[in-house]
Amino acid sequence: MNTSCITTLPATIGMWEKLEEIHGEDCSKLQMIPSDVARLCFLKIFKLTETSVKLVPELPPSLLSLHLSSIAEVPDMSNLRNLKPSFSTSTSISALEMDRTYKLWWIGKLLRLEYLKLELPGITSIPSDLEHLCCLKELLLVRCKNLRLIGLLPSSLRKLTISHCDVLQSIDLSNLQKLLELSLSFGIPNIQGLEGLRSLQCLKLSSCELSELSGLERLEKLQVLSIECCPLLQTLPNLSDLKCLKDIFLWSCRKLVKIQGLDRLESLQFIAIGGCSSLQSLPDLSNLRKLKYCDIERCSRGNVPGEV
Enumerate the β-bridge partners of residue 225.
203, 248
Q: Does 127 reside within a domain?
A: no
Handedness of CA 229, 233, 239, 243 (dihedral sign): negative
Q: Does 194 reside within a domain?
A: no
CA distance 174 to 153: 9
Phi first, then psi: give them for residue 125, nearest 5 degrees. Answer: -150, 155
C-alpha triplet 66, 70, 71: angle, nearest 5°: 50
Angstrom CA distances, 218 to 155, 201, 238, stand at 19, 12, 10
Instruction: Tell me what pLDDT residue 51 has.
Output: 84
Q: Does 200 reside within a domain?
A: no
3-17, 95-109, 135-149: least confidently modelled range: 95-109
Type of residue found at 66: L
54-58, 146-150, 168-172: least confidently modelled range: 54-58
pLDDT band at 138 (very low <50, low <70, confident <90, very high): very high
Q: Does 20 reside within a domain?
A: no
Q: Does 64 reside within a domain?
A: no
pLDDT 10s digits, 62-104: 999 998 876 655 556 778 999 988 665 544 444 444 444 456 6
Q: How many CB atoms lie within 10 A of CB 124?
A: 16
Instruction: Tell me what pLDDT residue 129 has.
Output: 73
Enumerate the β-bridge partners of residue 228.
206, 251
Q: Does 266 reside within a domain?
A: yes
Q: Whole domain around residue 299: which residue ranges?
A: 220-308
If one counts the domains in the chain, the total is 1
Q: Does 275 reside within a domain?
A: yes
Instruction: Tell me what pLDDT residue 303 has.
Output: 45
Instruction: Tell me what pLDDT residue 70 has.
Output: 61
pTM: 0.86
Q: Is the pLDDT of residue 57 over 90?
A: no
Q: Does 11 reside within a domain?
A: no
Residue 100 belongs to what H/E stretch?
Answer: helix 95-101
